[in-house]
Structure 1
Amino acid sequence: MADSDSEVEITRGEAAVKKWATMKKLSPKTADRLIELGYDSMEALSLLSEDDLGEANIPIGQTRLLLYSLKQTFPRGQAASGNNANHCNQDPQTNVDPEPNIQNIGDDDVFIRNVLGQLNGAQTQQQPSQTGPSGNMNGTNPPCTAVLDTRVNLLRSSVLADSTKKTYSSYLQPYLHFCNSKGIPLVPITPVNLARFIALLSYKLSFNSIRNYLSVVRLLHLEAGFANPLDSYYISSLLKGTKRVLGAQTVRKLPITPNILYRIFNILNFSNPKHLCFWAACLVGFFSFFRKSNLLAPSWEQFDPSKHMSRNNVRFSKTGAVIVVTWSKTIQYMQRSLLVPLPHIPKSPFCPSCILRLVFMLNPTNLPSCPAFMYTLDSKNHILSYATFLQMLKSCLSQIGLDPSKYSGHSFRRGGASFALECGLPPDLIKSQGDWKSDAYQSYLDPSLSFRVQVAERLGSEMLRRFPTPT
């Protein structure tokens, strides 16, 4: 069935045209006239040409503005239906990842440009100013428009965290390629074309990944002033069917258990400063339940003492150590500080505070803002980056006979939380130590079989107590 025959295409078609006209500063009369002429949807509007306006009786100023707006919204001059026979014979599994050219986006589509600029790092990044530009802020001598616009761009570019920008950028690429290949605008996308995009993703992605990729489609539409295209019965029912076909299982990395830690410890060479630093990171990650974004930096160049663990964040005492966290996944706006304690285990190679103090002592520095996990090798200071840590972890796991692909840096967070549960600690304390904002932490807990056996034996003994075996 052609797009124009689909009932879902009619929903809010006229409203979309009127909203588009308002954004382009066209008069309500012009919008009404377009709808009277049959251009009552964005797909129909994309087919409008200058010749079609010859007898439309639209004032010349509005006509010029209309043509300019059409050129900017539909820069390729192609229909928005995406019903192009040239694409029908292509393999649907091969068009998910290519890099598109975003230069085809209209220059006056300000909201879309802002989103693309944020996700692709186009906005100039700088430290936000608390006081603003010089001048009287009481209204008698405000900053000029250009200065305010620069400030607006800075504030807008700070909406998303850097990690979110990177994630959204990967989500954006398949959508850009899909729209470019079909000759349709990024916004607004029709329900039928959005369904086609979902179908394309379903060839290669899991259901949960598809929902993540659609988040950037939602963002683009909201930024451009359109309704969320996911909020329709047609799309929600399609996603429900997709979930039924693909399933919604989540494959999590396995936890690092105390037994695995012990086996890793036995194969490390502690005469090597790099191995000692790696072991310290393993223990801190296990006992603190830290996320990798707090524990280790990607590199020297990307190390940020306000985000990554530095020596300045650690306070040692006789009872262990306390790590001060001022930024994390759940502390995005410097609204609080989190104090994470590490235990002191006397004369034990598994004492995180002792091993961390030893690393500090072997690598003295006068700069408290240095990375917590650094080591000296060949008279040079090296940072233990997350990539190096992960490489060493996978090597150790392979040596002890485990599949490295089933583990990641996050396995320490999950393993520490699971061990805390086995030790009988209440869930609310585990949640506090790991700084979980919601109850999502419960999915991380992985009680061992021995722990479950304790539960079964406790139930059995209680049953026997209440109903003794007859003698």
Structure 2
Amino acid sequence: MLSLARNLWLICAQYNIQIHIQGINKRAADILSQTGSHEWLSLRRKARTVLKAAFRPGTFKNLRTQLNTYLLFCEKFCRSAFPVGQETLCGYVCFLSDNFKNSGSVRNYLSGVKTWAILLNFDTEEFNSPSLRLTLSGIDKLNTNVPNTKLPFEPYHLNRMFEIIDMTSVQDAVMWAVIMISFYAMLRKSQFANNSRTTFNPKEQLTRGDIQITEEGLIIDIQWSKTSQKHKNIHQIPLKRIEDCVLCPVLAYSRMVSMLPALPGEPAFGLSDSKGKICAFSKSDIDKILHKLLVRCGMDTSQYSFHSLRRGGATCASAAGCTDSEICTIGNWASSCYKGYIKHSTDKLYYISSKMGLFCKLSY
């Protein structure tokens, strides 16, 4: 019965269902429990819908997974799910730490439970308890796993790829354009590819109409990004033509366009199907093609991924003397997290200590 009640509660929480279990003996209380303003019930439903709309579909899907995991934990150990208790939360953290290598994932799942507590109008004070903070701190210290942060692509990596790529191949020409545009514009993969080829969204992924070729170079109109999902402002990225350089994004894109023409509303990057229509790459397509290219270049595929292009672009811009503000503008970062993308060279670090030493020398 307890398991049935929990499952029933979960269904009601997920699909915004309200139920009334009719009483038997206490008729007066039963009638009173059903009375109330229909307008107020309507407002409550609307408030829940508005709260749900605050999350992207993918985010809400993750929240449901996190809720299911928490409910299964509570059912397994016979704990009350909501309102949350301090002992339950600490036990849940330890349970998650046994199943996740990264303590960041533990915090992510815990945050999901807190979000559900807020959505379901339960108290969240226990999430701030000293006991929970100490438990999380202990998990961080006991967790010896080091996240595998991918290295950035540097110019000599790109030059090696160019030497391997066959520019007479349409697929290679398209992939090279993807690499060049993603490096210089510091794009995320989600800005031109979706989870599958059939779910391409022209409001979120780049189309041919979003990239204009001008006399000076390219102008890219980004309508959607991870940090700007409301389509209110178009983030415009101009890319300058680089003369006498094989690592030129304008040259790479222009070559692709001449080899594979497309309509303005079609995907910016993809391959033509049997009917001559441009079919967008999926994210897995991009990963597979890049993986094969890295193998052909003799590079360690465990150290690099597509995100290495975004990291490489930020690193290159920093090494070229671009300011923090300029890097944030191009990469459309909404916080200072971009600093973690930049990998400084040994020469630059030598330069910093050299400047410090000169200052010390002049100070005594």
Same fold flag (TM > 0.5): yes
Deviations 1:352-373 (A, max 9, x none): 12221222232223x3111100
Is contact 1:285–1:295 with CA below 8 Å preserved after alignment? no
Q: 1:363 to 1:396 in 2, by over 3 A?
A: closer
Question: Which residue, 173, 177, 194 being the options, matches 2:72?
Answer: 177
Structure 2 residue aligned with 1:187: 82
Question: Which residue, 421, 426, 440 being the options, matches 2:318?
Answer: 421
Deviation at 1:168, TM superposition (A): 2.9
Q: Distance in 2 between matches of 1:332 and 1:203?
A: 35
Match status 1:227 vs 2:123: yes
Question: Which residue, 123, 126, 139 being the options, matches 1:242?
Answer: 139
Match status 1:354 vs 2:241: no
- How many residues are aligned here? 340
Structure 2 residue aligned with 1:387: 284
Match status 1:342 vs 2:243: no
Is contact 1:115–1:223 with CA below 8 Å preserved after alignment? no
Is contact 1:253–1:408 with CA below 8 Å preserved after alignment? yes
Match status 1:106 vs 2:9: yes
Q: 1:230 to 1:274 in 2, by over 3 A?
A: same
Match status 1:200 vs 2:103: no
Deviation at 1:396, TM superposition (A): 1.8
Is contact 2:185–2:313 with CA below 8 Å preserved after alignment? yes
Q: Distance in 1 between matches of 2:298 and 2:15?
A: 49
Structure 1 residue aligned with 2:267: 371
Q: Which has the larger radius of gyration?
A: 1
How is 1:240-279 mapped onto 2 (pairs within 5 angstroms)?
240-246=137-143, 250-279=147-176
Question: Which residue, 39, 58, 67 being the options, matches 1:163?
Answer: 58
Deviation at 1:247, TM superposition (A): 5.7
Q: Secondary structure at the match of 2:239?
A: strand
Match status 1:333 vs 2:230: yes
Question: Which residue, 114, 117, 122 being the options, matches 1:218?
Answer: 114
Deviation at 1:163, TM superposition (A): 3.1
Which letter maps to 1:165?
F
Which letter maps to 1:266?
E
TM-score (norm 1): 0.65
Q: 1:224 to 1:182 in 2, by over 3 A?
A: same
Deviation at 1:240, TM superposition (A): 1.8
Structure 2 residue aligned with 1:302: 199
Match status 1:286 vs 2:286: no
Structure 2 residue aligned with 1:431: 328
Q: 1:236 to 1:396 in 2, by over 3 A?
A: same
Q: 1:148 to 1:331 in 2, by over 3 A?
A: same
Q: 1:302 to 1:151 in 2, by over 3 A?
A: farther
Q: 1:331 to 1:421 in 2, by over 3 A?
A: same
Which letter maps to 1:189?
V
Deviation at 1:75, TM superposition (A): 5.0
Q: Secondary structure at the match of 1:188?
A: coil
Structure 1 residue aligned with 2:23: none
Deviation at 1:422, TM superposition (A): 0.7
Q: Secondary structure at the match of 1:341?
A: strand
Is contact 1:360–1:372 with CA below 8 Å preserved after alignment? no
TM-score (norm 2): 0.83
Q: Secondary structure at the match of 1:406?
A: coil
Q: Distance in 2 between matches of 1:264 and 1:277?
A: 13
Which letter maps to 2:136?
L
Is contact 2:191–2:204 with CA below 8 Å preserved after alignment? yes
Deviations 1:29-69 (A, max 9, x none): xxxxxxxxxxxxxxxxxxxxxxxxxxxxxxxxxxxxxxxxx
Q: Secondary structure at the match of 1:339?
A: strand
Q: 1:457 to 1:153 in 2, by over 3 A?
A: closer
Higher helix share: 2
Bigger mean CA offset, 374-383 vs 290-299 = 374-383
Is contact 1:344–1:351 with CA below 8 Å preserved after alignment? yes
Deviation at 1:287, TM superposition (A): 0.3
Where relative contact order (Cα < 8 A, 6+ residues apart) is larger, the structure is 2
Deviation at 1:214, TM superposition (A): 0.6
Is contact 1:326–1:336 with CA below 8 Å preserved after alignment? yes
Deviation at 1:305, TM superposition (A): 0.9
Q: Distance in 1 between matches of 2:274 and 2:136?
A: 56
Q: Secondary structure at the match of 1:304?
A: coil
**Identity fraction in percent:** 25
Bigger mean CA offset, 381-390 vs 416-425 = 381-390
Q: Secondary structure at the match of 1:405?
A: coil
Deviation at 1:427, TM superposition (A): 1.3
Match status 1:317 vs 2:214: yes
Q: Distance in 1 between matches of 2:200 and 2:284?
A: 13
Deviations 1:385-427 (A, max 9, x none): 2211111111222232322122222111111000111111111
Q: Which runs of 5+ in 1 are unaligned?
A: 1-70, 78-102, 117-143
